[in-house]
Structure formats: structure tokens, C-alpha cells
């Protein structure tokens, strides 16, 4: 199940600069329409699982505690 048509995605110059630090983007930053199509085909349950695993790995590599909330 994908994303329904919602607010348009807008990438600012600052965000484009940030993206270029991680990706080669030889054809430039993807348009909002390209990103929308990507989000429409993603399996969000799988994406969520991978994103959580990645975030936990980043926290581990940074030496952050499991839960830093009081």
C-alpha cells in the first residue's frame, strides 16, 4: 500500500546541499514528482523496520544510550 496524494514535496537549497553530501546525484536532486512516485511504491511496514534498525545502529555507533529520556 502506498501513499495517497498529499502535500507536495519541496526540497530546499539547503536540503539539496545536504543530500549531495551523501549521494552522487549525477543527474541532480530528484524532482518532487520522482520522490512522490518512490513513496507511493514503498512498502511502509518494511521501510519502517529497516529505518528503525538503521537508527538503532547509528545510535550504537555513536555510543548513545538506548533511551536518554528522563
pLDDT value of position 4: 52
Burial class (CB in 10 A: 0-12, 13-18, 19+), 59: middle
Cell, residue 65: 544510550
DSSP secondary structure string, 7-59? SPP---HHHHHHHHTT---TT-SPPHHHHHHHHHH--HHHHHHHHHHHHHHHH
pLDDT value of position 1: 46
pLDDT tens track, the chain, 70 positions: 455 555 566 777 787 788 778 778 788 878 888 888 998 999 999 999 999 999 999 899 888 866 555 5
Domain residue ranges in the chain: 13-62
Amino acid at each position: 500500500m502506498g501513499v495517497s496524494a498529499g502535500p507536495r514535496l519541496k526540497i530546499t537549497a539547503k536540503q539539496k546541499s545536504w543530500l549531495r553530501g551523501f549521494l552522487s546525484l549525477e543527474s541532480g536532486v530528484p524532482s518532487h514528482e520522482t520522490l512522490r512516485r518512490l513513496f507511493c511504491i514503498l512498502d511502509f511496514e518494511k521501510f519502517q523496520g529497516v529505518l528503525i534498525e538503521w537508527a538503532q545502529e547509528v545510535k550504537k555507533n555513536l555510543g548513545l544510550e538506548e533511551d536518554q529520556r528522563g
